[in-house]
């Protein structure tokens, strides 16, 4: 069961404005990365369903975070069908993210009052997702569909829209400032926040520093 209610999840995303996006096949690595982000001020974290037995890693991560990162809201990403969403919600996922909009995922998440954040690349897709009960929509791939100007142009006719952007987001002042000025609710940040060489060497403090730096720019 989800540890945090829907209002808490969305308000936390809107307050901290950054959601790290990460996958690793090793449970210990995933736990160390989540802890490093938590120590850097992160309070919402997306683990992605991108490898064999990812659900086992997520189950371990949920249990670890409950003890070591009690305020961390954990969600699952890269979800493309309702049965997979149900599996992760049963494991404790507090939000579900997908690369595109799927009405069946929206229905099953609504039934459990778990936020579903689908990937959208047009105003029509965002409108359809909102009609299906999606409070937050993910513009993806953000860098390819128009960048910050796309978000600001959406917010003009649809000012109530809560937008998360993923893709083309990095922990740099110019980049993050542009997204914030465009009016995003939050940014999802993956590879730029987790350099492969840093993960491989286990330099967790560098991830903590990167998170602190990114959040200082955002705030």
* pLDDT tens-digit map of 46-99: 999 999 999 999 999 999 999 999 999 999 999 999 999 999 999 999 999 999
Q: Write the pLDDT tens digit of every residue in 172-198.
A: 999 999 999 999 999 999 999 999 999
Domain covering 6-218: architecture? Alpha-Beta Barrel (3.20)
Identify the pLDDT of residue 1.
Answer: 66
Q: Half-sphere exposure (CA, 13 Å, Cβ side) for 167? A: 14
Q: Write the burial class of residue 36 (CB in 10 Å: 0-12 exposed, 13-18 middle, 19+ buried).
A: buried
Q: Name the helix (H) or strand (E) containing 188.
A: strand 186-189
pLDDT tens digits, one per residue of 27-40: 999 999 999 999 99
pLDDT in tens, 99-135: 999 999 999 999 999 999 999 999 999 999 999 999 9
| Mean pLDDT along residues 137-146 | 93
H-state helical runs in 5-122: 6-16, 27-39, 54-68, 82-91, 103-112
């Amino acid at each position: 069961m989800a540890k945090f209610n829907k209002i808490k999840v969305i308000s936390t995303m809107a307050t901290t404005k950054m959601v790290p996006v990460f996958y690793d096949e090793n449970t210990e690595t995933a736990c160390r990365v989540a802890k490093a982000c938590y120590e850097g001020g992160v309070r919402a974290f997306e683990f992605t369903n991108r490898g064999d037995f990812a659900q086992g890693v997520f189950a371990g991560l949920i249990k670890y975070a409950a003890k070591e990162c009690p305020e961390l809201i954990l969600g699952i990403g890269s979800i493309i069908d309702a049965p997979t969403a149900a599996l992760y919600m049963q494991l404790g996922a507090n939000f579900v993210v997908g690369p595109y909009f799927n009405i069946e995922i929206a229905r099953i998440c609504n039934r459990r009052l778990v936020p579903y954040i689908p990937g959208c690349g047009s105003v029509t897709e965002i409108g359809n997702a909102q009609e299906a009960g999606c409070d937050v929509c993910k513009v993806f791939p953000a860098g390819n569909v128009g960048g910050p100007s796309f978000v600001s142009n959406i917010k003009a006719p649809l000012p109530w829209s809560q937008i998360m952007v993923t893709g083309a987001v990095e922990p740099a002042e110019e980049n993050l400032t542009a997204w914030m000025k465009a009016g995003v609710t939050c940014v999802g940040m993956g590879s730029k926040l987790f350099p492969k060489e840093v993960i491989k060497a286990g330099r967790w403090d560098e991830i903590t520093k990167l998170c602190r730096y990114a959040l200082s720019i955002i705030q």
